[in-house]
Amino acid sequence: MNSKPEHIIHVDDLGSIVKPKEFLLGNTESELVAACKAGERSAQKRVYELFSGKMLNVCKRYAKDADHAKDMMHDGFIKVFLNIQKFREQASLETWITRIMINNSISDIRKEVRKGIKVSTDDVHIKDENIKDFELVCQKPITANQVFETMNQLPLGYKTVLSLYVLDGFTHKEIAAQLGISEGTSKSQLAKAKKVLAKLLTDAYL
Amino acid sequence: MQKKGNIESFLREKLQNMEVAFQDDWSVFEEKLRYALYVRRLKRMMWLGTCSIVLLLSFVSVNVYHIQEGATYQPRHQSLQIGNSSLFEPAMYYEPTNELSTDVKSATFFNKTKGDITASSIKIRGTNSTDILTQKSHSVTANIPLPTTSTVSTKKAALLLNANNNDRIEEANAGVSAQDLLSNLEHFEFQDMVMLVGSDGEIEQAPAKEKVLKTYSRFHPLYLSTKNLDLDIIDKDFVSVHMPLEIKDIKSYEGPYVSPLQDKNPWSYALNVYPNFTYRKFAVDQDKLDYIHRDFIDAVQSAEKGGFSLNVGFEVSRRIGLITFLNSGIEYMTYNTEAVYNFTNFRDADINPTTGRIDNYSLKLRKENIEFTDRNTYHYLNFPLSISHQPWATNHIRLNIEVGGSFMYFVTAKGKTLDYKTLDIVDLSTRDFKKSMGSFFFKVGANYYVSPNINVGFEPTIMYFTNTIYSNDYPFKVVPYCVGMNFNIQINLN
């Protein structure tokens, strides 16, 4: 039984009488991009809602804290919408946004990362027993958040190179170009990062 | 032994599938986005404005002419024989025994073409030079190549043509065109002609015969001996009327043309009245659809497009170059638009009292046709600042290029319109508006000088507004650009 008074017609029932230009769920990515290029705020909102969660996780890998990560994410999305005209749909929208987010985050922390890498002279010596124990760690039911928290304990230089190489798929050449370091430095930072992270995980969860 | 890449796989497996938390902070981000878009727009306009100013200054610097009092130059001596006859004879209006003599600093020559003297070859000399205009009705030859000049008289010139027998007196006032002069010259013998130059308004305003007499008297030997003449152009030197003519230096004036009507004072003041027709576009803000009555959306977009404004103001100009000015002043602007609505209203909006949004609509039992027309007037005080350059001018017409900006203070709005939610008739004076807005503008136009003090002109204008007077909850986006046409009347107060 229809509980609505008959003379009241809801907006959704109006159908073709007046159809606002709202962006509806289910539109393809191309339509979404086209609407964003046209400056439609509802489309921009949709893009933000779709990808902001993931992009926040991306930014958290490079930020100092949660607030910094949120600011990075917002700045990244601003760049996305200001430069949306340049998106050529050769890759997926998510990939493009992720790249912008990473580049934006790196440029934010570049100086600090380079400084951290330069002053980091300690040669972390990992015992072989720690490396063997890590295999046991892999069998433990450790959540993603726990791993992430552990990774956050790494020095900024280690964490950045580790994230760029392992999680975001950058080559050492690209990492070197991004951070203004040599390829050799990138490789050594990665090696050290892996060793230290393995030790931290072993100490924490084994 | 550690498996190669084990930790990398471990990290990828764990972190690439991390829990994604939905971010419910769109409103916070939207404010940042709006600001970023505004800053980008502002940067683009400032860049455009800077480029325009740089281009204008570059153009001006090529043409800036420093007016120097008492400029001196080294005269050179040349004698000019015009055919077999002497170029000058003692003027008939004074005693043959009296001679006028002068150091002729320069002379106006004409570009001789074989045969007739063409109109284009006659110029009137400018500053720090003596204007001597001599011609013959028939062809002229010269022994020396004659330079071309491109000059204007910086002061008003009284040109007197006196018939031999005093029974034909032709007198031309300031700004006589070369063509007019030529058409009269053929009636006279060369010895009958002499040009007197000066800024003596007394000569100009007197009747013709008196002008002749006054002019004669000014060339009385006594006058001449005391050099008590105010002949600015020849700088208190006098026309030489003896043969052969000692031609001193010929100094070409290569600067831009300066109309004789151009005010030479460093400061000038004027009253401006100019109607202006502008076109501005309004568009519905898609994010605020819930704040506008749906039946109203299409109606308002066609109703508010552009309008007519009448500006009355006082302008102060400072000469910063020969034909370049820095302008400022104050203007009172009234901008008029017609609010014309004619649409059908099917439903009443249910407005949320807390948020102000339209949550729902109630269908009317009977549809209502809404027709409404009213004139809306917006009043501003405008404070402009601009640089104008007049790259081309004739005696009466000047081309003007102007770039600048202004600060507009919103005074009040009058008239009625429809409320975009309730469709009730509202008084504009009760609406909230912001108090000011800024603009940048670029104008290219032409002015016709009816007289030295009054000119009329038209100027196509492009304007960019940095903001609008509408409040943040106004559901329409006003396109910040507008094009318009100024028709101005300017009264010089100098």
pLDDT digits (tens, 9 = 90+) for B138-157: 322 222 222 333 232 222 22
**What is the rounded distance in angstroms from the CA atom of residue A15 to the CA atom of residue B97?**
106
**What is the rounded distance in angstroms from the CA atom of residue B391 to the CA atom of residue B256?**
7
Q: In what order do the strands lie in the sheet with B193-197?
A: B169-172, B157-162, B193-197
Per-residue pLDDT reduced to its tens digit, B213-239? 334 333 333 333 333 333 333 322 333
Find, in chain B, the residue whose alpha carbon is nearest to that of A11: B360
Closest CA to B418 of B335, B476, B355, B352: B476
Identify the burial level of B201 via C-beta atoms within 10 angstroms of its C-beta, where 0-12 means exposed, 13-18 middle and 19 or more buried. exposed
- Touching check for A135 and chain B: CB below 8 Å? yes
Query: Using an 8 Å Cβ cutoff, are B294 and B343 in contact?
Result: no
- Say yes or no for a CB contact (<8 Å) between B2 and A131: yes
Main-chain dihedrals φ then ψ at residue B283, nearest 5 degrees? -135, 150
- Say yes or no for a CB contact (<8 Å) between A44 and B15: no
In this prediction, residue B374 carries a pLDDT of 83
Contacts of B30 in chain A (CB under 8 A): 41, 45
CB under 8 Å to B450, separation ≥6 — which residues?
B456
CB under 8 Å to B85, separation ≥6 — which residues?
none
Query: How many angstroms separate the CA of residue B419 from the nearest CA in chain A?
Result: 19
- Strongest mean pLDDT among A110-114, A161-165, B71-75, B145-149: A161-165
Query: Strands, DSSP E only, in B145-186?
Result: 157-162, 169-172
- Touching check for B242 and chain A: CB below 8 Å? no
What's chain B's Rg over C-alpha atoms? Answer: 35
Q: Compare CB distances from B20 to A53, A145, A167 and report the shortest one's residue.
A: A53
Query: How many angstroms separate the CA of residue B479 from the nearest CA in chain A?
Result: 13
pLDDT of A48 > 90? The answer is yes
Query: How many angstroms separate the CA of residue A144 from the nearest CA in chain B?
Result: 5
Q: Provide the pLDDT confidence category of residue B281 given band limits of 50, 70 and 90.
A: low
Contacts of B476 in chain A (CB under 8 A): none
Find, in chain B, the residue whose alpha carbon is nearest to that of A48: B26
Find, in chain A, the residue whose alpha carbon is nearest to that of B14: A144
In this prediction, residue B407 carries a pLDDT of 93
- Touching check for A138 and chain B: CB below 8 Å? yes
- Touching check for A136 and chain B: CB below 8 Å? no
**What is the rounded distance in angstroms from the CA atom of residue A195 to the CA atom of residue A134?**
10
In this prediction, residue A164 carries a pLDDT of 92
pLDDT of B171 > 80? The answer is no
CA B369 to chain centroid: 48
Per-residue pLDDT reduced to its tens digit, B88-133? 332 222 222 222 323 233 333 322 223 333 332 333 333 333 333 3
The mean pLDDT value for B316-323 works out to: 84
- Touching check for B21 and chain A: CB below 8 Å? yes
**What is the rounded distance in angstroms from the CA atom of residue A194 to the CA atom of residue B4?**
11
Query: Using an 8 Å Cβ cutoff, are A41 and A47 in contact?
Result: no
pLDDT of A201 > 60? The answer is yes
- Say yes or no for a CB contact (<8 Å) between B23 and A44: no
Find, in chain B, the residue whose alpha carbon is nearest to that of A19: B294
Could you check whether the bond before residue B244 is cis, i.e. omega within 30 degrees of 0? yes
DSSP string covering B52-112:
HHHHHHHHHHHH-----TT-------EEE-BTTB-S----TTS-TT---------------
| Dihedral, CA of residue B420, residue B426, residue B432 and residue B436, to nearest 10 | 90
pLDDT of B261 > 60? The answer is yes
Higher pLDDT, A173 or B81: A173
Select the residue from B29, B38, B364 to test the A interface by mutation, using most A Cβ atoms within 10 A: B29
Contacts of A17 in chain B (CB under 8 A): 294, 346
**What is the rounded distance in angstroms from the CA atom of residue B298 to the CA atom of residue B426?**
19
**What is the rounded distance in angstroms from the CA atom of residue B293 to the CA atom of residue B284?**
11
Find, in chain A, the residue whose alpha carbon is nearest to that of B13: A144
Average pLDDT along chain B:
62
- Say yes or no for a CB contact (<8 Å) between A74 and B297: no
Higher pLDDT, B115 or A109: A109
Is 0.90 exceeded by the ipTM? no
Select the residue from B8, B9, B11, B357 to test the A interface by mutation, using most A Cβ atoms within 10 A: B11
Contacts of A144 in chain B (CB under 8 A): 14-15, 17-19
